[in-house]
Chain A
Amino acid sequence: MNGRTHKLLALVAIWAALLLAPYWMPPLGGYTALGTRVLVLGLAAMSVNFLLGFTGVLSFGHAAYFGLGAYGAGFALKFLAPSTPLSLLCGMLLGGIAGALLGALIVRRRGVYFAMVTIAFGQVFYYIAFQWSSVTGGDDGLRGFSRQPLDFGLFSIDILSDTNAFYYFVLVCFALITGVMAFILRSPFGRTMIAIRENERRARFLGIPVERHIWIAFTLSCFFMGFAGALYALLNNFADPRGLHYSQSGDFVMMAVMGGMRTFWGPLLGAAVFVVLQDYLSSITVNWMSFVGALFVAVVLFFPRGLLGFIRRKSEA
């Protein structure tokens, strides 16, 4: 069996598992909303990894754009119009445009300095959301909105009370965004991102304006992040300032690294492990994070390419 059939089989397996999740999860002790959470946080981790794994740029403040996406969706539903697609659009735009503006200020920084500046900007948004209670609801978060049925004219789909319907709605959104990501990564532009990751000096002397390309990749990743955040607000019917906090950014980076940041699907696996462990352990102990942390340390020490990177290597060997 060659690499291409391997890849195709893996892809079929991933999509089959995702499509059938509402049927295989409950018998294994899960529930559909948990699957939805994996998809949404997985999409966010994949957006972080679009930058981290494929451009080689570590942002430690990506939760800011995730949280902005959530608030954008919440504001749209609360103040603009009761429309789910509109709320997703608003969330994506808010996250993406904020990313584009801030990204322009920070793309000249590298490594630790880049990570620090992204944290700082992220925390600015966190404190705005936290302090500006009259608009954002402050510490209590933004409440008083809920996702709306999808109206197709002839029929409508109730994604509010039907958790399976909402799962499939999120899955369609997830497929759309990951499809766009995969498409970009296979394009000439995507290959310049990988060139920057592999060797910035060589990329520059191949004629790539490195800062501009990093800015574009950063902005795209913030649009994806904003979209994931908007889905998160729809999932919870609630936008939380903690969704903007740098510890949330850290969780996304952790999911990406744990799953395998050099792989496209790794962050989704990382998110699944993270979310399922959190769900299971937090019902047993309030110190669930120490167990997730221990697992993270073990993965980094023993599978430096992440879980999926390890699985892929095994299957190729």
Chain B
Amino acid sequence: MHFTDRVVPEHKLCVACQRCVTYCPEHAITVTKNELAYKENANWSPELRKNILKQAETGGILLVGMGNPRDYPILWDHLLIDACQVTNPSIDPLREPMELRTFLGRKPDRLEFVERDDGEIDLATEIEPQVRLDVPVIFGAMSYGAVSLNVHRSLVMAAARSGTLMNTGEGGLHRELYPYAGNVIVQVASGRFGVHSEYLNTSAMVEIKIGQGAKPGIGGHLPGEKVDEDISKTRMIPVGSDAISPAPHHDIYSIEDLSQLIYAIKEATDYEKPVSVKISAVHNVAAIASGIVRAGADVVTIDGFRGGTGAAPMVIRDNVGIPIELALAAVDQRLRDEGIRNNASIICAGGIRSSGDMAKAIALGADAVVIGTAALVAMGCRICQKCYTGNCAWGIATQRPELVRRLDPQVGSARLSNLLTAWSLELKEILGSLGVNSIESLRGSRERLRGVGLDSQTLELLGVKPAGVGQ
């Protein structure tokens, strides 16, 4: 806008971030759909026409932010959860304890015990490192650089308060956040930004990022404009230079190479931390996940094609990958069939929007879920999808100081914790209605799901019966 004697909005510049609507003291502003649109055409949407015009002007790759917005089927919305009636009682979570604690990490094949001289029994099996989550929701990997330091502050404080983890993404961990090590997953990606032994050891878990749901198989570029003094220090690259993450890790060309990196990290952290490997959900995801587990990963994170991003080529985001629901079901089934499901935890990312989605993911086999976009929305994001411009009105996907200060980490972290508290309560209600008192009893229990409006092949892949079929 420009202020003369009256306010004149510049409709062309509006991205529908809703900031003005939210903060107008008189509630006098509304954002409506621009009626001055292109002539209607069911085949040539206005967006397609705008994109072609933009590419005809620039000759560049179309860049977008946030997750895939296209109208692909959302399978969560075609899955329904069971409940108890008459023949077995439901449980009231308000009065009875409900166990939501989850431990991430490799579980032993069997437990062995020894009897002490005094008759007490001791566990003889050596247990691999585990990370405890009080709530099975982890904040997704969003790098400092893509998001502001206030976002990282909010996430890490909320994770500490709610007993869960945040993920640094591939841009390193700011020194100020080192005291929160117990609530941090540190990521090692192809660019190796900010990766050193102290960083690896300042964590609850280390994650090797192979892929991201929004952009499977491609790398990332943090534009030089975003690399200011502080980011340069955290990533350990010069101010103003592009931070380029190559598409592959150049020391990983095979499962054997992946194993080599997993154990390099374990050596550098003295085998004290679980190592996760994050991949995008792609066609052959089940076989890849099996290889990852056999390579020695303690956790497999699968990111579906609806997962978010700070910046990705539109053509990749909108056309590559597979839905997380199918990927998760396929991976869980494959690991069970091979008898190695206990060797790694499965984390499900990319498209979790509510506690309902979370419960369904757990029933399909996830140990925990990841929220990225949902966490950003809790902090103010209105999904205007302009993250890649660096001009985020909510102080999230920006490094401009006057915008960054709009997000108060105290407020942001409190809102994130509220969200996790709310989802925990809702999850307990779901467990209660299912007649179980622990999340372990729901995990991988596909019998408690039914599909509605799904074809028989999809149902088979999900391992779920159609609604209307009893036991």
Q: Do A and B bind each other?
A: no
Q: Which residues of A contact B (CB under 8 A)?
A: none
B interface residues (Cβ-Cβ under 8 A, vs A): none
